Amino acid sequence: MKFLITKKSGFVLTLLLFFAVSCKNSDKKASTEENPKTTDAHALIKNAEIEIDEKIIEAMHEAISKDEYPNIHSLLISKNNTLIYEEYFKGQDEIWGDAIGEIEHSKDLLHDVRSISKTIVSLCVGVALKLDQIDSVDQKVSDFFPEHKKHFAGDKAGLTVKHLLTMTSGLEWNEDVPYNDPRNSEIQMTSSSDPIEFILSRPLTSKPGEAWRYNGGTTQLLAVIIQKVSGLSIDKYAEKHLFQPLHIESHEWTKFPQINLPAAASGLRLTSRDLFKFGVLISQNGKWKGHQLIPLEYMRDAMKSHITFGRNNNVGYGYQFWILKASTIFKGENHSIVAAFGNGDQRIYFDDTHDLLVVFTAGNYNKWDIKKDSESVLSDFIYPALINQ
């Protein structure tokens, strides 16, 4: 199960790890030949037929290895449909908040993706729309929760699936405090005997659609909607409609401690390579091996800003996707970058303009003040090494 790069093929993989990587309008099929010489990051760079400043990449590798960019566990970089870097590092890790010590990370090891779980839930909503299990993103949330009718009075009656996807529900919610703080609404939801009742009972602080507020509860509602319309819990639904088509065999979805309900907002665990597959799926607008798994129109809507915020409105939010201004990462760039974020510096970055896909896993959970984080790696090394060469 080693990555290979040759002059004639973009991705070259073994039979056990077969990616379908496409250009904008057509799929490229990967070869299955094996070359044991190309099993490390250095060999990938040497064999890539694109312009790379190798010294910068080598400096990046050394800086991460020395923990100057702390506790990064894996990094995969693809440019122009060519994987040019894949490396794993030793570091302290957790499983959904429980410390597991220092781990020698590898291509076969499952890793918390935390809130990237939200993005996977969004992709499942796209599947549900394709299968006509959900009428549209404008369908009312109350349609799916008749047993909670009492909670849909007044402005809350106008709450739609789209409001949940874009985190503009208007529901009172606090994830601004750390996740080990009992005031954190996601922690309160997790410890609740009835998470859905807890979420829907939150009062409105603004009308749906008016304001953005980070809210893992809205992702949990989306997951339960999928379960209601399909009969499958979100982990089983994702397995059937996403993991199996992408040949993802190893995965876990942590469940709430008191009930048999997958933690939709943060519980998914994947290998870095399988997380990278989702990056490829995103880069192909929901297409995989010639099949449109997620409707194209949905993907286009999912990966555009529906509301902006932050300093000078430099951050946007789609359907559980972050939309970033590239200029905040690399000066002189005026386009947008699509991203999926997870607590601890779990990241998927996709820059369509430069055909650049980057995946990080790390162990910096609940550490919000780290200056040399994944975005700094992009700014300090990856963009300088690959852009404007």
d(CA 53, CA 292): 35
Q: Are 362 and 345 in contact (CB under 8 A)?
A: yes
Element (H, E) at 325: strand 322-325
How many whole angstroms separate alpha carbon 302 and alpha carbon 296? 10
Q: Which residue has the higher pLDDT, 277 or 4?
A: 277
Mean pLDDT rounded to a whole number for the chain: 89
Is residue 255 within 8 Å of 301, Cβ to Cβ? no
Residue percentage of the chain with pLDDT more than 90: 81
Comparing 141-155, 163-177, 375-389, which segment has the lowest mean pLDDT?
375-389
pLDDT of residue 178: 85
Q: What are phi and psi of 246, to 5 degrees?
A: -90, 5
pLDDT mean over 26-34: 33
Q: Model pTM?
A: 0.90
For residue 355, pLDDT over 90 is answered with yes
Give residue-wise pLDDT tens across range 107-155: 999 999 999 999 999 999 999 999 999 999 999 999 999 999 999 999 9
User: Which sign does the torsion angle of CA 170, 171, 175, 176 carry?
Assistant: positive
Q: What ranges make up the beta strands (E) of 180-321?
A: 252-253, 268-270, 287-288, 291-292, 307-309, 315-317
Least confident of 23-32, 229-238, 350-359: 23-32
pLDDT tens string 79-100? 998 999 999 999 999 999 999 9
End-to-end alpha carbon distance in the chain: 31
Q: Which of 252, 226, 249, 245 has the alpha carbon at shortest distance from 237?
A: 226
Task: Report residue 39 CA to chain centroid gap.
Answer: 26
Other beta carbons less than 10 A from residue 274's beta carbon: 22
Q: Is the pLDDT of residue 321 over 80?
A: yes
Q: Which helix (H) or strand (E) holds 374?
A: helix 374-377
Radius of gyration of the chain (CA): 20
